[in-house]
């Protein structure tokens, strides 16, 4: 049995399991009272079951247990198996925290504590951490000390875990964006030949797509925190591990993989600071809210954000392809400049930070007007 066939089998198994499990989880959510009631901040107008993340997690974990015994001996070494165990143990704790929140609505402090514990288990229990970094225009693969590596890894895991949670505001949005990011990681893992990430990405992608059948607008079930936190944790782990040696091959690459949730989180923090509101205070200024205010339908808003996520993913793949070439530093520099400019223009156009402040657009307009005046005077 070829390895490629095993990867495809894992994807199909996880897809079928998610298709079977999601309706069962929906009934279970109603049974235990894990429901989401409409309010002024939410788009849906009827009571919806949560806990959908359980279907994705069980499809992933069960698929892993089914496929792993068929792998050729020696293909996955001790290091690879350690990464898979770290993903399973940390992911299980994250799903448990999310499921409890879906039912009992835990406080932000309790959820954060649970995420920190999961991150610490990954770092101290399994020794998984960012230990090398590639800084553009510097020497490649610079080792970093533990006193930097450990807090950086924990911060990355907790930060990305919550970033996915913040964009979970429309039917199919968080699951679809996560699926695009996982697909990006899968392509890069195939390119790099990193077997454990190929396997876990294929399984996760199958689980997400199976769940998305029931979660895309009009949704029949929400993934809840059990899903958004688990997918966030999975993306944090695999964007960090998508290359051999547990490295950030280029510090831009993992940021691009999850560009949509990270940029939305960044602008949310800036928006709340400008408006003198608590950083963790919920609001209706996220990317999907802004697009809805511009008149886009629920479905079109989600598809637009899918397109943005796919663009970020394509940039990440290009970055990964050229990272070892002589032009890598310049490609990285150009990618950073173009994306930062594009993000700022986009943010000002849709008003994600402030509806009235558009400093860059106004500067461009004034500059063009001056140039036009000068050309006419001549």
Output the 3-class SS for the chain. CCHHHHHHHHHHHHHHHHHHHHHHHHHHHHHHCCEECCCCCCCCCCCEECCCHHHHHHHHHHHHHHHHHHCCCCCCCHHHHHHHHHHHHHHHHHHHHHHHHHHHCCCHHHHHHHHHHHHHHHHHHHCCCCCEECCCCCCCCEECCHHHHHHHHHHHHHHHHHHHHHCCCCCCHHHHHHHHHHHHHHHHHHHHCCHHHHHHHHHHHHHHHHHHHHHCCCCCCCCHHHHHHHHHHHHHHHHHHCCCCCEECCCCHHHHHCHHHHHHHHHHHHHHHHCCCCCCCCCCCCHHHHHHHCCCCHHHHHHHHHHHHHHHHHHHHHHHHHCCCCCHHHHHHHHHHHHHHHHHHHHHHHCCCCCCCCHHHHHHHHHHHHHHHHHHHC
pLDDT in tens, the chain (378 residues): 578 889 999 999 999 999 999 999 999 999 999 988 776 555 556 788 999 999 999 999 999 999 998 888 777 888 888 889 999 999 999 999 999 999 998 998 999 999 999 999 999 999 888 776 655 555 555 667 777 889 988 998 998 898 888 788 788 999 999 999 999 989 888 888 888 889 999 999 999 999 999 999 889 999 999 999 999 999 989 877 654 443 434 556 777 788 888 888 888 888 888 877 777 677 777 788 788 888 888 899 999 999 989 988 888 887 766 655 555 566 667 777 787 888 888 888 888 877 777 888 888 888 888 777 777 776
**In this structure, are strands 132-133 and 247-248 parallel, antiparallel, or unpaired?**
parallel
Number of domains in the chain: 1
Q: Is 225 annotated as a binding residue?
A: yes
Q: Is 283 annotated as a binding residue?
A: no
Q: Using CA atoms, how far apart are residues 319 and 316, in angstroms rounded to an integer? A: 5
| Residues in contact with 37: Cβ distance below 8 Å, sequence separation at least 6, in sequence order | 47
Best CA proximity match to 197, nearest among 181, 185, 183 = 185
Q: What pLDDT does residue 9 have?
A: 94
Q: What pLDDT does residue 245 have?
A: 41
Best CA proximity match to 229, nearest among 15, 53, 33 = 53
**What global pTM score does this model have?**
0.87
Q: What pLDDT does residue 39 have?
A: 62
Q: What pLDDT does residue 260 have?
A: 85
Q: Using CA atoms, how far apart are residues 190 and 4, in angstroms rounded to an integer? A: 10
Q: What pLDDT does residue 243 have?
A: 47
R_g of the chain computed on alpha carbons = 21
Q: Domain containing 318: what range?
A: 3-377
Q: What pLDDT does residue 247 have?
A: 41
Q: What pLDDT does residue 302 have?
A: 92
Q: Is the peptide bond before 58 cis (omega within 30 degrees of 0)?
A: no
């Amino acid at each position: 049995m070829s390895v490629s066939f095993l990867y495809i089998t894992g994807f199909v198994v996880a897809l079928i399991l998610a298709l079977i499990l999601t309706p069962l989880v929906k009934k279970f959510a109603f049974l235990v009272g894990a429901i989401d009631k409409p309010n002024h901040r939410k788009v849906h107008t009827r009571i919806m079951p949560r806990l959908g993340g359980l279907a994705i997690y069980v499809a992933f974990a069960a698929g892993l247990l089914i496929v792993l015994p068929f792998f050729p001996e020696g293909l996955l070494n001790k290091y690879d198996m350690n990464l898979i165990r770290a993903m399973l143990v940390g992911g299980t704790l994250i799903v448990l925290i999310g499921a409890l929140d879906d039912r009992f609505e835990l406080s932000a402090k309790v959820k954060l504590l649970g995420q920190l514990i999961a991150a610490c288990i990954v770092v101290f229990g399994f020794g998984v951490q960012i230990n090398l970094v590639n800084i553009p225009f510097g020497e490649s693969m610079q080792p970093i000390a533990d006193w930097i590596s450990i807090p950086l890894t924990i911060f990355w895991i907790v930060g990305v875990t919550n970033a996915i949670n913040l964009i979970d505001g429309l039917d199919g949005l968080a699951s679809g964006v996560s699926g695009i990011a996982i697909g990006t990681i899968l392509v890069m893992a195939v390119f790099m030949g990193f077997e454990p990430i190929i396997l876990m990405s294929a399984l996760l992608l199958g689980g997400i797509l199976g769940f998305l059948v029931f979660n895309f607008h009009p949704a029949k079930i929400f993934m809840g925190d059990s899903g958004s936190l688990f997918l966030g944790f999975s993306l944090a782990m695999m964007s960090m591990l998508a290359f051999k040696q547990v490295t950030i091959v280029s510090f831009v690459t993992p940021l691009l993989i999850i560009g949509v949730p990270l940029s939305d989180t960044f602008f949310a923090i800036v928006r709340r600071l400008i408006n003198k509101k608590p950083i963790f205070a919920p609001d209706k200024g996220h990317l999907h809210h802004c697009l809805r205010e511009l008149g886009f339908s629920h479905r079109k808003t989600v598809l637009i954000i899918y397109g943005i996520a796919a663009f970020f993913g394509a940039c990440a793949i290009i970055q990964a392809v050229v990272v070892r070439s002589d032009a890598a530093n310049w490609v990285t520099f150009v990618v950073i400049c173009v994306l930062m400019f594009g993000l700022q223009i986009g943010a000002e156009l849709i008003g994600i930070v402030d509806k009235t402040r558009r400093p860059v657009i106004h500067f461009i307009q004034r500059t063009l007007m001056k140039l036009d005046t000068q050309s006419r005077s001549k």
